[in-house]
Amino acid sequence: MRVLIFIILAFTSKSLFAQKDLIRSQYHSLYNLDDNKFYTTTKGKRKYLVWNNEVIDSSGITINSLTSDGKTIVFYNWTASKYSFYIIDKGRIEKLFQSEKASFYLTGGRVFGADQVSRNNEDGITEKVDGKNILEYNIKTGVSSLFCKLDTLFEPENASELTKIVQLSGGNYLASVCDLTIECLYCRYFLVSSNGKKIKQIDFVSANESDTYQLFFRDQDDESVLLEVSGGSRAENGHFIYSQDFKPTTRCLEGNRGIAGLNFKNHELVSKNIHSTLDDGTKVIFTYQYSLFLERSLYRVYADEPLLDDDIKRCSPHELDLIRNIAFAKYNCKFKTDFYQAYFNAYMFYWRPQFSGLSELRKPRLDNVDSLLTDTDRANLAKVQKFANDQQK
């Protein structure tokens, strides 16, 4: 179905692809993960990556099962009741090792997993399950070694397991361990050094262990981390941006983004392909790049707060267009351009299903919202225009 959508849009939605190409034009050597296949695009034609003369079916691949160290791309998928690991190096695919282990975490070009511990299930039968300690797997052989020991930070009777590990841009790792005694509603989060030797617990709320809150890693750049926070004793839940050392930076708009694919340049992730819809319900995909400066600016315009000069001067012309148009989108403005419909429908404040069983449906779009603009909106629009003009000099 996704292929059909792209074919239709190629003929009917030039504006969407003009903006998409605007983002991709910064990169001239991309691996793409769309339509469950890896491919490169040259002069508009796809060249699929193959192994043993067969195109690799990556239908089991998600953003969590693919990683890169800047030199190679490592990924796995589920085949023949086993996880099969592959590596992409200089456009060639090499098969690595296979494993029946239940969970792996790929990040920063490295392969991690939890250690195995014995635990009695509900029927009193002893079985092997994931534990708290983090193992690292040799990419070539699949042999594991201890990377980080977390079990000493928990009570011996505490039934917990590793649920996530993500490399941060600064080189550290964010690891989460859930408490199985309350069905993983409570997690503890740790900042782990690149060699696994230094461990620091991160407290996003009070240290009260009766709190049940969860963090969902959404995105990052060199300076910040985008997290979704829910539950716990927080006054507010939602999407927040933290610095790389986990100091709160700003709230941000809640996204409604499903990832359709990933784009790599020289084996480094540069953008994501995001599922969205047009206002008439047509399903589309656009290319998205996370940026602290863009997301903070979008939120400040939405919240009727003055834009920060230091943020907008670091935004591209395309990002300035987005910041300008959210001043209208927040008042439910109707966009004629497919790209802006798709982009803003990826945020919860703008997206509402036209037909659904939900109590709150989307209100009719407005053709003109100029009379609704506040003094802050007008000042922000003038500032964006000034910086856009300066970029053109």
DSSP state of 153: G
Q: Which of 66-75, 234-243, 284-293 is predicted with the least confidence, judged by mean pLDDT?
A: 234-243
303, part of any domain: yes
Alpha helix segments (H runs only) across the chain: 2-12, 14-24, 292-302, 309-312, 317-329, 338-344, 375-392
336, part of any domain: yes
What is residue 341's three-state secondary structure?
Answer: helix
Q: What's the domain count of the chain?
A: 1
Q: Which of 134-138, 167-171, 312-316 is predicted with the least confidence, judged by mean pLDDT?
A: 167-171
Residues 220 and 51: their CA atoms lie apart, in Å, by 31
Residues 354 and 178: their CA atoms lie apart, in Å, by 38
Instruction: Tell me phi and psi for residue 3, to 5 degrees.
Output: -60, -45
What is residue 16's three-state secondary structure?
Answer: helix
- Highest mean pLDDT: which of 28-37, 256-265, 267-276, 311-320? 311-320
Q: What is the mean pLDDT of the chain?
A: 76
CA angle 229, 101, 62 (to 5 degrees): 45
Length of the chain equals 393
- Strand order through the sheet with 110-120: 105-107, 110-120, 126-137, 144-148
By DSSP bridging, strand 283-288 and strand 268-277 are antiparallel
Residues 287 and 261: their CA atoms lie apart, in Å, by 9
pLDDT at 171: 82
**If you average pLDDT over residues 235-245, what whole number do you get?**
72
242, part of any domain: no
- Highest mean pLDDT: which of 233-242, 271-280, 369-378? 369-378
What pLDDT, in 10s, does the model give residues 323-372? Answer: 999 999 999 999 988 889 989 998 888 886 444 444 455 678 899 999 99
386, part of any domain: yes
234, part of any domain: no
Neighbour-count burial for 321-358, b at 16+ CB within 10 Å, e otherwise: bbbbbbbbbbbbbebeebbbbbbbbbbeebbeeeeeee
Q: 112 - beta bridge partners?
A: 105, 136
**If you average pLDDT over residues 150-177, what whole number do you get?**
80
Q: Which domain holds residue 322?
A: 1-29+259-393
Residues 274 and 301: their CA atoms lie apart, in Å, by 23
Checking if the pLDDT of 380 tops 50, the result is: yes
pLDDT at 155: 73
pLDDT at 15: 34
97, part of any domain: no
pLDDT at 255: 81
pLDDT at 30: 65
Residues 323 and 312: their CA atoms lie apart, in Å, by 9
What pLDDT, in 10s, does the model give residues 80-117? Answer: 677 888 888 776 778 888 887 767 888 888 889 888 77
Question: Residue 79: what residue type?
Answer: T
- pLDDT category, 154, cuts 50, 70, 90? confident
DSSP state of 306: P
Strand ranges inside 232-305, DSSP E:
238-243, 248-251, 258-265, 268-277, 283-288
Residue 32 near residue 38, CB atoms below 8 Å = yes
320, part of any domain: yes
Checking if the pLDDT of 381 tops 90, the result is: yes
347-355: long-range contacts at Cβ-Cβ below 8 A with a sequence spacing of 24 or more? 347/253, 347/254, 347/255, 347/256, 348/253, 348/254, 348/255, 348/256, 349/253, 349/254, 349/302, 351/256, 351/277, 354/279, 354/280, 354/281
Checking if the pLDDT of 24 tops 70, the result is: no
pLDDT at 360: 52
pLDDT at 204: 59
What is residue 259's three-state secondary structure?
Answer: strand
Number of Cα atoms under 13 Å in the Cβ half of residue 393: 6
6, part of any domain: yes
Residues 333 and 349: their CA atoms lie apart, in Å, by 12
